[in-house]
Amino acid sequence: MKIVTGTKMAEIDGEAMSRFAIPGLILMENAGLQVVRYLEKIWTGQGRGRLLIFCGKGNNGGDGFVIARHLAQRGYHPVVWAMDRCSGYRGDAAVNYEILLKQGFPVHLVTEGDPGEILKELGEDDLIVDALLGTGLKREVSAPFAALIGAINESRAPVLSVDIPSGVCADSGEIMGIAVKAQHTVTFALPKRGLLLYPGAACAGGVVVADIGIPAQLSADPAVRENLITGSTVRFRLPARLPQSHKGTYGRLLLLAGAPGMSGAAVLAAEAALRGGAGLVYLGAAPELRPVMEAKLKEVIVRELPGDGAGNLDACAFPRIREEARSCRALAMGPGMDPGPATLALLQQIMEELPFPLVVDAGALAALARKTSLLQGKKPPLVLTPHPGEMANLLGADTEAVQRERWALAAGKAREWGCVLVLKGAYTAVGLPTGELFINPTGNAALATAGSGDLLTGLIAALLTQGVSPEDAAVAGVYLHGLAADLLVAARGIRGHTAGDILPFFPAAFRQVENLEPPRPGEFVPLT
């Protein structure tokens, strides 16, 4: 599913009207009806709560008028507040305002009334529909909108925002002075960038994408390079599990990981690779760590490799690694490894001499930051998995700068370095060498714990081992990794988890994706 800016969505709407002869009134009608359908699904206060709809002066407000009309026809009693008289509205919004008036529906004026007092009286059984400012917002929110948004946020009633929370920039996720803090957002046709970029993403609550009849030729425009990963995206990227298969069918992975005091990272990555479907996992460790690894791991084959005498692998291990790798389909390197020059020397030899797909994480990424010129020369298919701090280290920048430009950096550096770049964090961004970008909506704060990144390394490497391309392995891996955390939290709550708690939910994540039915036309598609 494509992710668009507000400007691009306006272009798509315009083409739907001009090229496909779909009247704007039809699109507005469809949008309003979809919000009504969703409202009936989520509003727990039906029959006892009050319902307020705030309508701005643009098409977002027009959607609000449609919502009010259809709710009234279904027996609800919505109270509508408009920002001006009907004569102050234009186009399709004015038409729907006038329809309400001709039906004798009362419309209150914000400029002449005081909704703030009513908002103070609202409780959890009530509901506010925010149809004030849509995706065209480009400047800071001004009066009287700013005061009204502040009053909405102070209310105890839940909020459903129409298309995007008012005050959030659809292009950047920037808060334009002040923004509605919604519990639910129904966005139309395609997800907007501002719903997936912070701080705007924190205002959106649960987001669903609603079909309003935009032709597929427009909503699937290949010129749009930013994509949302969905369950359907992942389902068709998973390798088959064949009835007549055996462990050799699903490949051998060589994982280089661990250092004194960091054996847990290697264990988590190795176990994740097994849970991810790799047929055989070989863990290469220095002699000093081999007994520890063998004690902790039952199904992983531990290979003792030469090291520096202090428990770390270094370049002297390469001849043995080359021998072990001959029977493997993929390699992974870095979880728990020392980030020093010895790791860099070993990584350089592997990148220059071994052709196998390679996942680079943690200590190996930190070592690579010492010599990023390695990314410009001959190298195997690479998947880099930095968190924002590691990305900043690779770029010689600071973490805040990375966070401000997450999407641009993931896409741009993946293209420049000719690799797959997984920039971890809330809404992990996966950049491909083509410049295409995939944004992952799964995951939660349970992943904010030591070792969760090691799980992702093992999972992506396992998919590579099964013959999945680096691009597809990264896209599928981040989604399944986040989904496993979502399933954990759904079962046990958000607090008190370790990375090891996420691992048992890998099978359920695979099962959920494999059992997905493609969305039917008109269905809501949740972002998570």
Residues 6+ apart with CB under 8 A from 126: 45, 49, 50, 51, 52, 157, 158
Closest CA to 265 of 361, 362, 331, 336: 336
Enter the tokens of residue 142: 């001004």
Using DSSP's 3-state secondary structure scheme, residue 162 falls into strand
| CA–CA dist 464, 382 (Å, integer) | 11
User: Residue-wise over 186-205: b if at least 16 C-beta within 10 A, else e?
Assistant: bbbbbbbbbbbbbebbebbb
| CA–CA dist 300, 297 (Å, integer) | 6
SS (H, E, C) 246-304: CHHHHCEEEEECCCCCCHHHHHHHHHHHHHCCCCEEEEEECCCCHHHHHHHCCCCEEEE
Closest CA to 432 of 444, 445, 416: 416
Per-residue pLDDT in tens (0 to 9) along the chain, 528 residues: 999 999 999 999 999 999 999 999 999 999 999 999 999 999 988 878 999 999 999 999 999 999 999 999 999 999 999 999 999 999 999 999 999 999 999 999 998 778 888 899 999 999 999 999 999 999 999 989 999 999 999 999 999 999 999 999 999 999 999 999 999 999 999 999 999 999 999 999 999 999 999 999 999 989 999 999 999 989 999 999 989 889 888 999 999 999 999 999 999 999 999 999 999 999 999 999 999 999 999 999 999 999 999 999 999 999 999 999 999 999 999 999 999 999 999 999 999 999 999 999 999 999 999 999 999 988 999 999 999 999 999 999 999 999 999 999 999 999 999 999 999 999 999 999 999 999 999 999 999 999 999 999 999 999 999 999 999 999 999 999 999 999 999 999 999 999 999 999 999 999 999 998 877 777 788 876
What is the pLDDT at residue 522?
A: 72
Domain boundaries, the chain: 6-224, 248-514
Strand partners, 226: 437
What is the pLDDT at residue 528?
A: 67
What is the pLDDT at residue 111?
A: 83
Enter the tokens of residue 20: 């496909």
- The CATH code that applies to domain 6-224 is 3.40.50.10260
The structure tokens 């987001």 sit at 207
Say if 6-224 and 248-514 have the same CATH topology.
no
What is the pLDDT at residue 378?
A: 83
What is the pLDDT at residue 447?
A: 97
CA triplet 490, 492, 494: central angle to 5 degrees? 75
Right CATH for 248-514 from 3.30.830.10, 3.30.360.10, 3.40.1190.20, 3.40.50.1370: 3.40.1190.20
